[in-house]
Amino acid sequence: MVYSNLDDDLTGVVLNVHRRNREATRRLVNHPLTRAYLEAGLRILEREFGDGQAAHEDRLRRPLATLTRETVIAEVAHGPSELPRPGTVGSFRDRWAYFPDYVSDLTRYVLRTQRMPYDAQLAEQAGQALADGEFSSAVHEVAFRRMRLSTRSTTMRFRYSAVALAMQDQRLYEPLSSLYEHVTDVWERLIVSVLSSRGLELRPGLTPRDLATMLTALNEGLALRVASEPNHHVIDETGRRSMLGTAALTLFAGAVDTGDGASIEEVVDTLTRYLE
């Protein structure tokens, strides 16, 4: 286990640690022991929200039940060698007098875009195939990989709980919003690139941002379906297909202007009149 983010400024993430002035606060926020406490909480969440956790439970347990001041302090001892390992009640309370303040800071720490690099990596890898390869096959492959990431992501599972936590701490809406903006930006850029390389345009009233937002929502909705019904046929591991891929192709087929310049509403109205 290696920790390589000692220079990562946490002043915009850790908002509940305070000192007498801004500089003293900045030093404590970025102190290695503060990072050690946050990393300890992250490891606890990864175990609680990780794959197969529910299979080992014989009774219902409330969310975040394993995350307590005592378990966080104890977990520090199992952290990377680059961070301090002795955690104490005194040093913890010196930073967070009230445990909900720690949970709030930990949530922002977990949801940082720096911890969600796979959208950008996947979009970069898929760009060439989507631009000039066999389009439908490329879409299915990208969607399959994205769905598999979503259904196996500890951070994704935690985000569902974070939405509920945000109702109690309005400051959590900002990292959630920033995360969604980051993900949408990544896919919007890819859509713009694909449309440009293939000489395509969207129907009037639709933008690449709209498509990116819809696809992100579809991905998360289907991932939530898998989380609640693991055996549902959302993902076909053998055929490397997913319902996200089918939905993306369906959306693309309706969104791309075929040369008639009609809006999506006009296309649907024409289609339904034709079928009457």
* Angle subtended by helix axes 173-197 and 118-132, to nearest 10: 20
What is residue 22's predicted lDDT score, i.e. its pLDDT?
94
Domain extent for 210: 114-275
User: Do 91 and 219 fall within a single domain?
Assistant: no
The reported pTM is: 0.78
Radius of gyration of the chain (CA): 22
Looking at per-residue confidence, does 207 or 165 come out higher? 207
User: Do 57 and 136 fall within a single domain?
Assistant: no
- Identify whether 2 is part of a domain: no
- Identify whether 14 is part of a domain: no
User: Do 87 and 139 fall within a single domain?
Assistant: no
Give the contacts of 260 (CB within 8 A, at least 6 positions apart): 267
Count: domains in the chain: 2
User: Do 261 and 134 fall within a single domain?
Assistant: yes
Backbone φ/ψ region at 64: left (φ over 0), alpha (ψ -120 to 50), beta? left
- Identify whether 15 is part of a domain: no
Q: What is the mean pLDDT of the chain?
A: 86
CB 39 within 8 A of CB 4: no
Q: What is the mean pLDDT of residues 147-172?
A: 79
User: Do 119 and 139 fall within a single domain?
Assistant: yes
- Identify whether 187 is part of a domain: yes
What is residue 172's predicted lDDT score, i.e. its pLDDT?
77
The sign of the torsion formed by the CA atoms of 230, 233, 239, 244 equals negative
Tell me which of 42, 77, 103 is where a domain ends: 103
Tell me which of 61, 79, 103 is where a domain ends: 103
* Angle subtended by helix axes 208-228 and 135-152, to nearest 10: 50
- Identify whether 166 is part of a domain: yes
- Identify whether 162 is part of a domain: yes
User: Do 46 and 121 fall within a single domain?
Assistant: no
- Identify whether 73 is part of a domain: yes
Query: Tens digit of pLDDT for each residue in 33-73?
Result: 999 999 999 999 888 877 555 444 544 456 678 899 999 99
Q: What is the mean pLDDT of residues 225-248?
A: 88
Instruction: Lowest mean pLDDT of 104-108, 111-115, 156-160, 263-267, name the range.
Output: 111-115
CB 219 within 8 A of CB 244: yes
User: Do 65 and 126 fall within a single domain?
Assistant: no
- Identify whether 46 is part of a domain: yes
Q: Report the alpha-carbon angle 216-148-206, nearest 5.
A: 20
User: Do 62 and 119 fall within a single domain?
Assistant: no
CATH of the domain at 270: 1.10.357.10
